[in-house]
Amino acid sequence: MTPQAIALAGATATGKTTLAIAVARRLDGEIISFDSRQAYRGLEIGTAAPDSEERAAVPHHGVGFLEPTERYSAGRFARLAREWIAGIRDRDRTPVLAGGTGFFLRALLEPVFREAPLDDERRGALRSWLATLDTERLRAWASRLDPELPRRLGELDRQRAARSLELSLLTGRSLCWWQRHSQPEAPAIPMLVYALALPAELHRARIAERTRTLVEGGWLDEVRALEAAGVTDAPSFNAVGYGEMLALSHGELSQAEALARINRATWAYARRQRTWFRHQLPADAMRLDASEDVGQLAQRIAGDWRRCQDERAGRQRG
């Protein structure tokens, strides 16, 4: 299957943005971010989203386009990304996906099932009601209506229990039923997938450096603007570090303490990403050492891509 796009997956602070731009430059590409927080307008600084210079150099999609109060999800991302990819290919350019939200990337590689249309109001009402129940209750109820799920996942956490309940209650079919019987929402998109990884010690150093850079880049002002806009309880605001920066702004934390906490939280997040990319990527994903020279990495990726495209051209001729 000829790949239709390139995907660069990597944990925070692993150099995806820079590499993506280097690759896009070589292949006349456009970048699609699969990052659940860089998508928000007004959180670009603290999420280390590509800056205006980078975005001027290469067209970007999926960055800074959502209101902080909006909800993003794997399904929504996948629908948007399919359009972006189609558009880029229509323009005879190369889609270069880059990001750290592995779950979003998967929604393209192994599309989620097509769900019966749910009434947003009923769904919202149900969610708020479920939010009031304690975890034990949710878990027991979800397991009763969807007994296969706990067998597969082990003891359910409340987020998954609530999701399962939402489907059982609103559609009369369990999550597992849908997964088995419903068609994928769209065909899978074949991609050349690369996983960027850094040795742990270096990775930690990069994270500390990144935190410092973000603060120097005006993170505090960004957080104050969000507070002034009254969105500190919006879905976007639980991005790493924003709570700490708010506390710093209020004088509840010293700058040193805030930075230390943010580093810890970022590392905890990076660890989860490392685990995801270690086990959840397609088996043919290629591993890259992100400490190598960006130019050489980009060179190699561009070479792989051209080879794939040439093979297709060859097949078509022959």
Nearer to RNA, 93 or 158 (CB): 158
For the record, the structure tokens of 33 come out as 């971010």
Smallest distance from the beta carbon of 85 to RNA, in angstroms? 17
Structure tokens at 22: 């280097």
Q: Which is nearer to RNA, 39 or 301 (CB)?
A: 39
| Residue whose C-alpha is closest to residue 64's, from 236, 245, 241 | 236
Q: Between residues 26 and 274, which has the closer beta carbon with respect to RNA?
A: 274
Which residues are CB-contacts of 22 (< 8 A; sequence separation ≥ 6)? 294, 295, 297, 298
CA distance 200 to 172: 46
* Nearest Cα residue to 96 out of 57, 48, 61, 54: 61
Under rule CB under 7 A, residue 122 binds RNA = no
Q: Applying CB under 7 A, does 72 fall inside the site for RNA? A: yes
Contact mark string toward RNA, 75..104, x via CB under 7 A: xx-----------------------xxxxx
Number of Cβ within 10 Å of residue 169's Cβ equals 16
Q: Does 160 engage in binding with RNA (CB under 7 A)?
A: yes
Stretch that binds RNA, among 66-74, 88-96, 249-257, 300-308 (CB under 7 A): 66-74
Structure tokens at 15: 């150099």
Mark 177-216 with x for binding to RNA (rule: CB under 7 A) and - for no binding. Answer: --x-----x--------------x----------------
| Helix or strand run (H / E) with residue 240 | none
46 binds RNA (CB under 7 A): yes
* Strands laid side by side in the 94-99 sheet: 60-61, 29-34, 94-99, 5-10, 191-197, 286-289
Q: How far is the CB of 59 from RNA (least distance, A)?
A: 19
Contact with RNA (CB under 7 A): which of 57, 125, 153, 286?
153
214: left (phi over 0), alpha (psi -120 to 50) or beta: alpha
If binding is defined by CB under 7 A, does position 32 make contact with RNA?
no
In terms of Cα–Cα distance, which of 125, 290, 282, 276 is closest to 207? Answer: 290
For RNA (CB under 7 A), the number of binding residues is: 61
- What's the CA angle centered on 33, arms 281 and 6, to 5 degrees? 55
Distance of alpha carbon 130 from alpha carbon 124, whole angstroms: 10
Query: Which of 27, 175, 195, 288 contacts RNA by CB under 7 A?
Result: 175
Least separation in angstroms between residue 155's CB and RNA is 6
Q: Give the helix/strand (H/E) hosting 218.
A: none
In the bound state with RNA, the residue whose beta carbon lies nearer, of 27 and 50, is: 50
Give least dist CB 144 to RNA, A.
18
Task: Read off the tokens for 218.
Answer: 């005006």
Cα–Cα dist 291/301, whole Å? 15
- In angstroms, give the least distance from the CB of 101 to RNA: 4
Q: Which of residues 228-287 bind RNA (CB under 7 A)?
A: 235, 238-241, 264-265, 267-269, 271-276, 278-280
Q: Phi, psi at residue 40, to the nearest 5°?
A: -85, 135
Distance in Å, CB of 53 to RNA, minimum? 18
Given 17, 36, 94, 168, the residue binding RNA (CB under 7 A):
36
> Rule CB under 7 A: which residues touch RNA?
12, 35-38, 46-49, 71-76, 100-104, 106, 112-115, 127, 131, 135, 152-155, 157-160, 162-163, 175, 179, 185, 200, 235, 238-241, 264-265, 267-269, 271-276, 278-280
